[in-house]
């Protein structure tokens, strides 16, 4: 049987992680093909509803990555991203979402190797978890059966 | 009556009996009951922390745990060396996860770090000074050199004293009782502390500098708040005088004895008869110059 | 209906060696909306660009996706080509097939598959791209320089010599700053005033520079190119137009025992005074806090003797409003004073002095006319101890940083002393000698080797006075940690360099950030060292961090170059990738305002025709917004969006990522 290939989305900022991934390229550091990068001006711009959107559209894992604390191109966008990340995580926890599919990492423009390692680690982790099917399963649930589920 | 924990340590049961006597006397005046910790043990100073870092935390921790179990938030630790060990132990337990789990196993007691060790200067500031002003019976018209030594002012994270390199808290107390605090150079120098037993020659050299400076600047007595300082400056006077051109006769008195005198307590009840260096001349001079308020 | 063109680049073999470019182009041609798709060996070459331009015109493309290298590399190239073909350049996007795909993967099916997906994501994004136009902001070509020390002077002269107007504001009665107080300067030992005062005069006489001394910045509004600044001209009580600077008033003033700031408290001045003989302007002001006329309402001697009728007691603070396009903060630094080193008796013993006081004692124009006399009894010292790092690099004193200038000036002080007293003993206690800089280490070696200054590596624990001598107790860490005691007649502390006490207040007025020590923060520690995070506000000198004169002057010239570059255009052109507000849905919670690092979000009142207020909404100032988008992610009502990364674009991208249902055939 063919091994499961997870689909990973990376939401990254333009100034640090996008450039760090560029550096991985210019350094020819090889990593798994599973990742798709979506470019943002800053991690502060990342609306975390996009993470749910990504899972809805078939992602098995999501990476959010930007400049290290105090290195933000816009001074403080990454701090706001981090704060909202904490709150968002609590929300996901409340919903019973498997947070092991979510990854947050600071990758600077100089950390090409770190980026490659991060992708490889994430792919390995998510491969262990298997495909993310919960969204489809949940979307099949009949509204009438919600009562049953809650009673369990 | 306020009750606080009291950790006398070995000194106040032995060589520093006069410190204990005078401290108890002013505590009675301040309406504070000093409740001795039940079954207290050695604080570990100064041998433990140079030999075994875990033991150095565990020994004082047991005393802290006893105070906690007796329900005290505060423990008066009159000896500066004991204070340093207890405060350091509490600091380690609060800041180091390793000790937080290990120490309770070692001492077989729970410890949260809620009991806070305080120095005698903290005690005086908090409980005594407020009541002092209306109860002064003697104005101590003499010159005093206030000596802090090292363990009340160091290390930085344990010291509760402001302006640690040139503290003024004892000077303020001296002024309150009508005395004059001299400006001198060695108030936070080391007296040699733990070398008191094994290297009296070093004690002699270090203390000679301290005594000589206080003497040359016209002090009538040196005021201390630590039994280690006291024993070195007082008990080792023969060794000290070998390093001086002429024998130094400055008496070394505790800050608690000073307060006791100001409150009109009999010198004998404050242990003035228990000094190695005679306090007679000093007391006589005080008596002559002191006016009844 | 979207008409998208896809252009897949081989980049020689850089992409095509692992990605099947022809196949990517073929797959892309099946994406909805794609009307043209082609691969080519070098898309960035002239023929490659022509291919794009021709396709845009021939196929009437409404969007372009160039699948090639990183957009950080060639986005400007392809946007320019797009514009040349007649459509808006912001309708061009790049898929990063090289850095993010071909270079980091092996040649296998999944690599080509990924490349095709990356193209698909950008195709979906570009469908939602809007036509954008660079933002034009007019520029007022006048610069405000705050601070008249060497940093401010250099910046002002450089800008003024480029033909632009400069307004300089100095809070003291004279410009010159700390440098005017120095006796000699390292590493050349040339006289500080000799090289500085001609510059001061140049500032005063320059036709392009308007100088306000004894003045402070009261408030700052606006944004890059368009600042509106209010300057508070403190009342000098002397009409400087009428005053001839004859000095008769100073001579006759009965209040003469005021500690002289210029001489670091070592001399006295009168209540009406010129800070120093070479002051610019060389006309007096009245120090109202010490003047008998202002304190008691009588005296008036200066008024009686003034031959020019220039004394105006009734003068009041004036507020001057100016428009400027750029602001240079060059407010300098201070040194730590008084009681923070009780172990050294600083503030207690008159003969324990700081570095600035030593400069004044050594200066030919100082209170002792250059004869080194100690403050307590005027005796010329035979033994002087210099203590470097007095407070600096000492976390216990709250100053963990290096003050940078002390190693050099301490070596200079020791040399100056030895030059004045050849047989005297000079001792320096130091932690490390940090003498990086042109001719700097040689200078320190000269102090040690030629001038016989005794350098002891170790710190001083205590200084006390005994029999008229200062006893300095320290340790020599290079000699088996032996403790040393030195009898000194004078002790000079190289006290820590700190930010000015009012720097926090000024930073808040300017809306620039400052660090935990209240030094102003540069926009980037390495690549944007003279700009602040607020566009149009730059830094020069020690207000950013402790700096010596060469570094300050370099930075000031750098700042001037930035200002002149800004003023070289009539309008400011900026990338239009900034945030914008939807007035209809904005509820005016102003959460966005609290996260904006650039204070670019203002309040706008929406009113009916009759003037009644409908609501207050957020409004983006396009001059200030830098386009980080933090406000967008935070907006509860989704009323803020950002050009270039709109919600529609990003959601389209994410939806196109793995949408297997819609793209089942891929």
Residue B281 belongs to domain with CATH number: 3.40.50.11810
Distance separating alpha carbons of residues C630 and A77, to the nearest angstrom: 6
Inside any domain, residue B125:
no
Inside any domain, residue C662:
no
Q: What residues of C are in contact with residue B185 (Cβ under 8 Å)? A: 462, 464-466, 471
pLDDT band (50, 70, 90) for residue A146: low
| Six token digits for residue C454 | 């005794």
First to last CA, chain B: 28
> Which residue bears the tokens 């005093």?
B144
Distance separating alpha carbons of residues C437 and B89, to the nearest angstrom: 47
Residue C645 touches partner A, C-beta closer than 8 Å? yes
pLDDT band (50, 70, 90) for residue A35: very high
Kindly state the greatest CA–CA separation across chain A. 55
Residue A77 has pLDDT above 80, yes or no: yes
Same domain, C358 and C481: yes
Same domain, C38 and C119: yes
Res B293: pLDDT? 46
Q: Which of C106, C597, C657 sits opposite A75 (nearest CB)?
A: C597
Same domain, B204 and B69: no
Same domain, B162 and B32: no
Kindly state the greatest CA–CA separation across chain C. 100
Q: Which residues contact C415 (CB under 8 A, 6 or more apart)?
A: C189, C446, C447, C451, C453
Q: Which of C118, C644, C654 sits opposite A57 (nearest CB)?
A: C654
Res A76: pLDDT? 86
Res C662: pLDDT? 45
Q: B146 and B183 in contact (C-beta within 8 Å)?
A: no
Q: Which residues contact A8 (CB under 8 A, 6 or more apart)?
A: A34, A35, A36, A59, A60, A61, A62, A63, A119, A122, A123, A126
* Among B275, B224, B251, CA closest to B121: B224
Q: What is the distance in angstroms between the Cα of C658 and the nearest Cα belonging to chain A?
A: 6
Residue C464 touches partner B, C-beta closer than 8 Å? yes
CATH of the domain at C589: 3.30.70.20
When scoring C533, C630, C649 by the number of chain A Cβ atoms within 10 A, the one with the most, hence best to mutate, is C630
Res B195: pLDDT? 86
Res C121: pLDDT? 95
Residue B99 touches partner C, C-beta closer than 8 Å? no
Helix, strand and coil percent figures for chain A, each rounded to 5: 50, 15, 35
CATH of the domain at B19: 1.20.1050.140
| Six token digits for residue C313 | 């007691």
Helix, strand and coil percent figures for chain B, each rounded to 5: 50, 10, 40
Query: How many C-beta atoms surround the C-beta of residue B70 within 10 A?
Result: 15
Res A149: pLDDT? 57
Burial of B91 (0-12, 13-18, 19+ CB in 10 A): middle
Same domain, B63 and B169: no
Q: Hey, CA dihedral for C32, C34, C38, C44, is it positive or negative?
A: negative
Q: Which domain holds residue C35?
A: 4-134
Q: C642 and C244 in contact (C-beta within 8 Å)?
A: no
Q: B152 and B79 in contact (C-beta within 8 Å)?
A: no
Same domain, C202 and C272: no
H or E element at residue C546: none
* E runs forming strands in C496-609: 497-499, 537-539, 571-574, 579-581, 601-607
Considering only alpha carbons, which residue of chain C is nearest residue A35? C114
Kindly state the greatest CA–CA separation across chain B. 60
Question: Percentage of chain B with pLDDT > 90?
Answer: 81
> Are C630 and A80 a contacting pair at CB < 8 A?
yes
Say how many residues make up chain B.
293
Query: How many C-beta atoms surround the C-beta of residue C17 within 10 A?
Result: 14
Q: Which chains touch B (3 or more CB pairs under 8 A)?
A: C
Helix (H, G, I), strand (E, B) or coil at C649: helix
Q: C456 and C428 in contact (C-beta within 8 Å)?
A: yes
Class of domain A8-151: alpha beta
Q: What is the distance in angstroms between the Cα of B165 and the nearest Cα belonging to chain C?
A: 5
Same domain, C155 and C214: yes
**Chain A residues within 8 angstroms (CB to CB) of chain C:** 5, 7, 9, 14, 18-19, 21-22, 24-26, 28-31, 33-34, 36-42, 44-48, 50, 53-54, 57-59, 73-77, 80-81, 84, 116
Res A151: pLDDT? 55
Distance separating alpha carbons of residues A76 and C533, to the nearest angstrom: 11
> Are C343 and B184 a contacting pair at CB < 8 A?
no
Residue B189 touches partner C, C-beta closer than 8 Å? yes
Same domain, B187 and B254: yes
DSSP structural state of residue B220: S
Same domain, C529 and C637: no
Q: What residues of B are in contact with residue C465 (Cβ under 8 Å)? A: 185
Q: What residues of A are in contact with residue C647 (Cβ under 8 Å)? A: 47
Distance separating alpha carbons of residues B43 and B75, to the nearest angstrom: 13
Looking at B89, B118, B147, which one is the last position of a domain?
B118
Same domain, C378 and C417: yes
Considering only alpha carbons, which residue of chain A is nearest residue C104? A30
Q: What residues of A are in contact with residue C110 (Cβ under 8 Å)? A: 5, 33-34
Distance separating alpha carbons of residues C325 and C511, to the nearest angstrom: 15
Residue B202 touches partner C, C-beta closer than 8 Å? no
Q: How far is CA B213 from the centre of its chain?
A: 21
Q: Which residues contact B213 (CB under 8 A, 6 or more apart)?
A: B145, B184, B185, B186, C464, C466
Ranges of residues in chain B whose predicted pLDDT is under 50: 293
Same domain, C129 and C24: yes
Residue C341 touches partner B, C-beta closer than 8 Å? yes
Inside any domain, residue B129:
no
Region for C404 from its dihedrals, namely left if φ exceeds 0, alpha if ψ lies in -120 to 50, beta otherwise: left
Same domain, C262 and C372: no
Q: Which residues contact C380 (CB under 8 A, 6 or more apart)?
A: C371, C372, C373, C374, C421
Residue C627 touches partner A, C-beta closer than 8 Å? yes
Considering only alpha carbons, which residue of chain B is nearest residue C461? B165
Inside any domain, residue C314:
no
> Are C99 and A25 a contacting pair at CB < 8 A?
yes
Res B147: pLDDT? 97
Distance separating alpha carbons of residues A59 and A133, to the nearest angstrom: 10
Same domain, C460 and C396: yes
Distance separating alpha carbons of residues C261 and C259, to the nearest angstrom: 6
Considering only alpha carbons, which residue of chain A is nearest residue C117? A36
Distance separating alpha carbons of residues C386 and C362, to the nearest angstrom: 14
Q: C286 and C271 in contact (C-beta within 8 Å)?
A: yes
CA dihedral C89, C95, C100, C101 (to 10 degrees): -150
Res C427: pLDDT? 98
Cα-trace Rg, chain A: 17
State the pairing for strand pair B221-224/C135-138.
unpaired
Inside any domain, residue B123:
no
Residue C513 touches partner A, C-beta closer than 8 Å? yes
Burial of C122 (0-12, 13-18, 19+ CB in 10 A): buried
Q: What is the distance in angstroms between the Cα of C103 and the nearest Cα belonging to chain A?
A: 5
Same domain, B158 and B265: yes
Number of domains in chain C: 5
Q: Which of C339, C341, C464 sits opposite B185 (nearest CB)?
A: C464
Same domain, C367 and C481: yes
pLDDT digits (tens, 9 = 90+) for B107-164: 999 999 999 999 999 999 999 999 988 888 888 999 999 999 999 998 988 988 988 8
Res C518: pLDDT? 94
Distance separating alpha carbons of residues C513 and C533, to the nearest angstrom: 7
Q: What is the distance in angstroms between the Cα of B205 and the nearest Cα belonging to chain C?
A: 14
CA dihedral C579, C580, C584, C588 (to 10 degrees): 60
> Are B165 and C464 a contacting pair at CB < 8 A?
no
Give per-residue burial for A22-58: e unless 16+ CB within 10 Å, then b.
Answer: bbbbeeebebbbbbbbbbbbbbbbbbbebbbbbbbbb
| Six token digits for residue C76 | 């400007």
Same domain, C87 and C109: yes
Residue C471 touches partner B, C-beta closer than 8 Å? yes
> Are C533 and A39 a contacting pair at CB < 8 A?
no
**Domain layout of chain A by residue ranges:** 8-151
> Which residue bears the tokens 């290298």?
C69
Q: C192 and C153 in contact (C-beta within 8 Å)?
A: no
* Among C641, C588, C643, C646, CA closest to C618: C588
Q: Which domain holds residue B229?
A: 137-292
Q: What residues of A are in contact with residue C99 (Cβ under 8 Å)? A: 21-22, 24-26
> Which residue bears the tokens 């290297």?
B199
DSSP structural state of residue C108: S
Residue C466 touches partner B, C-beta closer than 8 Å? yes
Same domain, C179 and C328: yes
pLDDT band (50, 70, 90) for residue A152: very low
State the pairing for strand pair B2-6/A102-106.
unpaired
> Are A21 and C626 a contacting pair at CB < 8 A?
no
C21 or A109: which carries more pLDDT confidence? C21
Number of domains in chain B: 2
Region for C6 from its dihedrals, namely left if φ exceeds 0, alpha if ψ lies in -120 to 50, beta otherwise: beta
Distance separating alpha carbons of residues C447 and C408, to the nearest angstrom: 10
The residues pairing with C334 across neighbouring beta strands, listed in sequence order, are C498
> Are B165 and C341 a contacting pair at CB < 8 A?
yes
Distance separating alpha carbons of residues B262 and B29, to the nearest angstrom: 12
Ranges of residues in chain C whose predicted pLDDT is under 50: 661-666
pLDDT digits (tens, 9 = 90+) for C351-382: 999 999 999 999 999 999 999 999 999 999 99
Residue C398 touches partner B, C-beta closer than 8 Å? no
Same domain, B17 and B98: yes
Considering only alpha carbons, which residue of chain C is nearest residue B167? C342
Same domain, B165 and B233: yes
């Amino acid at each position: 049987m063919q091994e499961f290939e997870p689909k990973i989305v990376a939401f990254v900022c333009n100034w640090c992680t996008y450039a760090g991934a560029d550096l991985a390229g210019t350094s020819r550091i090889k990593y798994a093909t599973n990742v798709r990068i979506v470019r943002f001006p800053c991690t502060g711009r990342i609306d975390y509803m996009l993470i749910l959107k990504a899972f809805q559209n078939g992602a098995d894992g999501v990476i959010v990555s930007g400049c290290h604390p105090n290195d933000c191109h816009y001074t403080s966008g990454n701090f706001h991203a981090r704060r909202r990340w904490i709150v968002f995580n609590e929300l996901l926890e409340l919903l019973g979402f498997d947070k092991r599919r979510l990854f947050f990492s600071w990758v600077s423009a100089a950390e090409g190797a770190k980026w490659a390692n991060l992708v490889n680690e994430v792919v390995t982790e998510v491969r262990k978890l298997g495909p993310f099917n919960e969204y489809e399963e949940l979307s099949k649930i009949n509204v009438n059966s919600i009562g049953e589920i809650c009673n369990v | 009556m306020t009750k606080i924990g009291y950790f006398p340590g070995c000194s106040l049961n032995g060589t520093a009996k006069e410190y204990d006597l005078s401290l108890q006397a002013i505590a009675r005046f301040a309406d504070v009951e000093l409740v001795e910790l039940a079954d207290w043990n050695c604080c570990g100073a100064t041998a433990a922390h140079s030999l075994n870092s875990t033991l150095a935390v565990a020994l004082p921790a047991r005393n802290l745990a006893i105070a906690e179990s007796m329900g005290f938030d505060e423990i008066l630790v009159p000896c500066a060396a004991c204070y340093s060990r207890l405060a350091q132990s509490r600091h380690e337990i609060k800041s180091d996860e390793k000790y937080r789990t290990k120490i309770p196993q070692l001492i077989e007691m729970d410890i949260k770090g809620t009991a806070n060790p305080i120095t005698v200067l903290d005690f005086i500031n908090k409980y005594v000074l407020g009541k002092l002003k209306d109860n002064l019976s003697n104005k101590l018209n003499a010159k005093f050199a206030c000596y802090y030594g090292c363990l009340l002012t160091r290390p930085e994270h344990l010291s509760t004293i402001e302006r640690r390199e040139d503290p003024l808290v004892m000077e303020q107390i001296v002024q309150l009782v009508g005395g004059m605090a001299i400006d001198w150079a060695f108030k936070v120098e080391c007296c040699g502390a733990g070398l008191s037993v094994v290297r009296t020659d070093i004690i002699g050299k270090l203390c000679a500098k301290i005594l000589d400076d206080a003497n040359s600047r016209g002090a009538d007595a040196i005021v201390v708040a630590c039994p280690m300082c006291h024993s070195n400056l007082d008990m080792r006077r023969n060794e000290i005088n070998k390093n001086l051109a002429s024998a130094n006769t400055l008496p070394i008195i505790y800050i608690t004895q000073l307060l006791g005198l100001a409150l009109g307590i009999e010198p004998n009840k404050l242990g003035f008869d228990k000094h190695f260096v005679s306090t007679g001349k000093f007391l006589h001079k005080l008596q002559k110059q002191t006016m009844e308020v | 209906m979207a008409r998208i063109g896809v252009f897949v680049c081989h980049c020689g073999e850089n992409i095509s060696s692992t990605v099947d470019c022809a196949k990517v182009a073929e797959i892309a041609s099946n994406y909805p909306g794609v009307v043209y798709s082609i691969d080519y060996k070098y898309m960035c070459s002239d023929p490659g660009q022509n291919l794009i331009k021709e396709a845009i015109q021939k196929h009437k493309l409404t969007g372009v996706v160039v699948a090639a290298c990183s957009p950080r590399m060639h986005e400007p190239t392809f946007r320019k080509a797009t514009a040349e073909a007649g459509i808006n350049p912001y309708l061009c996007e790049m898929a990063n097939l090289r850095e993010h795909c071909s270079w980091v993967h092996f040649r296998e099916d999944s690599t080509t598959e990924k490349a095709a997906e990356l193209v698909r994501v950008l195709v979906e994004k570009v469908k939602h791209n809007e036509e954008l136009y660079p933002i034009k902001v007019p520029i007022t070509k006048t610069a405000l320089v705050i601070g008249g020390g060497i940093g401010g002077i250099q910046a002002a002269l450089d800008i003024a010599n480029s033909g632009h107007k400069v307004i300089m504001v100095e809070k003291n009665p004279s410009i010159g700053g700390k440098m005017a107080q120095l006796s000699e300067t390292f590493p050349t030992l040339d006289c500080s005033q000799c090289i500085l005062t001609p510059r001061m005069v140049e500032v005063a006489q320059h036709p392009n520079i308007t100088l306000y001394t004894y003045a402070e910045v009261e408030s700052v509004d606006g944004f890059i190119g368009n600042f509106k600044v209010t300057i508070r001209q403190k009342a000098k009580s002397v009409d400087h137009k009428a005053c001839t600077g004859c000095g008769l008033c100073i001579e006759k003033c009965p209040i003469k025992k005021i500690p002289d700031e210029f001489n670091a408290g070592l001399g006295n001045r009168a209540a009406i005074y010129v800070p120093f003989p070479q002051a610019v302007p060389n006309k007096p002001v009245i120090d109202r806090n010490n003047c008998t006329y202002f304190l008691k309402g009588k005296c008036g001697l200066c008024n009686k003797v003034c031959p020019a009728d220039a004394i105006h007691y009734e003068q009041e603070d004036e507020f001057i409003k100016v428009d400027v396009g750029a602001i240079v903060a060059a407010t300098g630094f201070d040194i730590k004073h008084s009681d923070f080193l009780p172990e050294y008796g600083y503030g207690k013993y008159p003969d324990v002095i700081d570095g600035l006081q030593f400069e004044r004692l050594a200066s030919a124009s100082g209170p002792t006319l250059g004869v080194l006399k100690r403050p307590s009894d005027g005796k010329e010292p035979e033994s002087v101890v210099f203590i470097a790092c007095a407070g600096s690099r000492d976390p216990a004193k709250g100053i963990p940083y290096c003050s940078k200038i002390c190693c050099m000036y301490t070596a200079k002080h020791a040399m100056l002393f030895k030059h004045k007293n050849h047989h005297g003993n000079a001792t320096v206690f130091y932690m490390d000698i940090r003498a990086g800089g042109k001719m700097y280490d040689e200078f320190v070696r000269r102090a040690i080797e030629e001038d016989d200054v005794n350098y002891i590596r170790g710190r001083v624990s205590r200084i006390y006075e005994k029999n008229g001598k200062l006893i300095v107790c320290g340790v020599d860490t290079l000699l088996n940690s032996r403790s040393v005691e030195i009898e000194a007649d004078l002790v000079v502390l190289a006290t820590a360099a700190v930010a000015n006490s009012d720097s926090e207040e000024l930073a808040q007025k300017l809306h620039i950030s400052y660090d935990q020590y209240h030094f102003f923060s540069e926009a980037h520690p390495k690549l944007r060292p003279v700009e602040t995070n607020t566009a149009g506000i730059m830094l020069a000198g020690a207000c950013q961090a402790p700096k010596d004169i060469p570094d300050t002057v370099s930075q000031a010239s750098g700042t001037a170059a930035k200002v002149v570059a800004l003023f070289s255009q009539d309008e400011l052109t900026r990338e239009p990738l900034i945030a914008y507000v939807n007035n209809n849905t904005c509820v005016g919670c102003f959460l966005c305002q609290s996260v904006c690092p650039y204070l670019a979000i203002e309040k706008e009142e929406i009113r009916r025709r009759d003037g009644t207020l409908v609501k207050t909404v957020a409004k983006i100032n396009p001059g200030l917004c830098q386009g980080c988008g933090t406000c967008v992610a935070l907006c509860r009502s989704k009323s803020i969006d950002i050009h270039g990364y709109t919600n529609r674009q990003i959601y389209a991208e994410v939806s196109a990522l793995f949408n297997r249902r819609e793209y089942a055939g891929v």
